[in-house]
Chains A and B, each alone.
Chain A
Amino acid sequence: MEDTKQPIPNEEPANTEKPKPKPVGKEKKPEPQYLLSSSPHMATIDRVPKIMWTVIAALMPAVVYGMYNFGFNVLLTVLASVIAAVATEIVINKMRGRESSVADGSAVLTGLLLTMTLPPAFPKAYAAVGAVFAIAIGKQIFGGLGYNIFNPALLGRAFLQASFSVKITTWTAPVGIDAITTATPLGSFKFEKIMTPYFDMFMGKIGGCIGETSALLIIIGGVYLLVKKYADWRIPASYLGTVFILGGLLWIINPEQYPDPVFHLFSGGLMLGAFFMATDMVTSPVTPKGTWIYGFGMGAVLIIIRLFGGLPEGVMYSILFMNAFVPLINRYTRPKIFGELKK
């Protein structure tokens, strides 16, 4: 990209903004040359495959812990889901006459993320059905990666929740012992008013979906992505911040009825959703202002579902709900073009 840029004379002498000097390497002249060119201005080595595989790597601690926590079975569920996702991707690419996009890792990531949101004892065949749905309906129908409106993995999960609502809310206790049903911290609070110790929730010794239990490991992976700038820090910040503040306000008003904000942060799939799903580059807003609105909206929807809705958990629906608004948010938070006059 860089080498093709031609110097263009600056046509706006009244321009008070300091144009950034961009000297072209080889033909250096005594006075700096001013270049006008369209963005992006920086060459980058980040490509879709690299980002996707990095996200997969960042998920690994939580996945491995899920296997340790819920047993070997989980590995098979992960495999079933990932293989189904990749196979669907291959078949649909063939049908559409496109080059294979398996190597970019997005199908593997979708399959993996989907499994992480499923209960440990969820039947593998249904996990595969969810993965097929996520790729076919969630992504490829819209035109493939980059064109999808909704987060494919969450759409797959929404389909599974609507189809197999009993199986997807049957939780098993951690540590090996098979088929002992238990409740998630959110479930036991909502329906029985029992609090789970924070330390267990933070470390992950609780019932829940395969990849959501350990807040610590998810935060480690998530922070890695934030540092690499593969996820916009504003999204988890605004999402978690809104949940904390709104949850806190309600807790101050009535601590008997509403759980405290720390409980909100570390329970359910909030950490996983905030760091790995809401930050999906395709389905989140592109403007900084837009990401704040997006995060606030997700936090508000989550609190409403958790405290006033019929379901104990609302991370999935809060993200999907705000995904639908992303085109609108992008449109209304578009930065003004320099020099554009106010109407």
Chain B
Amino acid sequence: MASKTSHPKEFLKGLWDENPVLRMLLGLCPTLAVTNSAINGFSMGLAVIFTLVMSSAIISLARNIIPKEVRIPTFIIVIATFVTIADKMLAAHVPDISKALGPFVPLIVVNCIILGRQEAFASKNPVGRSVIDALGMSIGFTITLTILGSIRELLGVGTIFAVQIMPLSFEPWMVMVLQPGAFLTLGLMIGISNWLNARRAK
């Protein structure tokens, strides 16, 4: 099933039309758990970009020699390899962020965005196309998580990327950096994106 869409389109679909978080509601576990600040959401996104692009490339290369019966275990092993690399890199270079993300970096292994792209795309398409698809998806994921993290950080702490935005007299809405804030903000973001799509369709 070689896709006929052009390369730019393959990339752009991940940003909006098939945005993994807002449109497909995939990978919600890290989306809800680590976006209490912009930097955490952004770092999580970077880890996913690395893992998704690398594993998509490898799986796409090996797509013709992976037996159909054991494809999922094979995908998991490849993904786990890159997740481990990403996890150790984060721990070595940015220990603070690594601590903040906690178990959610190792958990990228079972992130449905990544496994889903292998199953649905990389295992059926040539390398170039797979990498472009992986880049689009993971960058769409990163942008969404960064926006989500920024909104929560802005209202919950008064800063974005630790830069003070709100006046100092602003009393932070603690709830926004707690779990309910994640659900509320994500729900509203999905609602707004649906609303924009509905308007565009008119």
Contact = CB atoms under 8 A, between A and B. Distances in A.
**Interface size range of chain A in the complex:** 10 to 19
B174 interface: yes
Interface stretch (B57-65, B68-76, B112-120, B176-184): B176-184
Contacts of A282: none
Contacts of A137: 184
Nearest to B191: A141
A165 B173 CA distance: 10
B184 to A, nearest CB: 7
A163 B184 contact: no
B97 interface: no
B96 interface: no
For the residues of B in contact with A, the DSSP-based class is: helix
For the residues of A in contact with B, the DSSP-based class is: helix
Contacts of B172: 163
Nearest to B180: A162
B178 A162 contact: yes
Contacts of B174: 162-165
Interface string B156-175: 00000000000000011111
A44 B75 CA distance: 66
A164 B184 contact: no
A129 B170 CA distance: 13
Contacts of A162: 174-175, 178, 180
Nearest to B171: A164
Interface string A109-148: 0000000000000000010010000000100010000000
Nearest to A125: B171
Interface string A141-179: 100000000000000000100111101000000000000
Contacts of A165: 174
Contacts of A163: 172-176
A129 B180 CA distance: 16
Nearest to A137: B184
B161 to A, nearest CB: 22
A126 B155 CA distance: 13
Nearest to A136: B188
A88 B172 CA distance: 21
A159 B172 CA distance: 13
Most buried by B among A126, A129, A162, A163: A163
Contacts of B175: 159, 162-163
A92 to B, nearest CB: 12
A137 B184 CA distance: 9
Interface of A: 126, 129, 137, 141, 159, 162-165, 167
Given A159-B175, A162-B175, A162-B178, 15 more contacts: A126-B171, A129-B173, A137-B184, A141-B191, A162-B180, A163-B172, A163-B173, A163-B174, A163-B175, A163-B176, A164-B171, A164-B173, A164-B174, A165-B174, A167-B171
The 4 closest A-B pairs by CB, nearest first: A162-B175, A163-B173, A163-B175, A163-B174
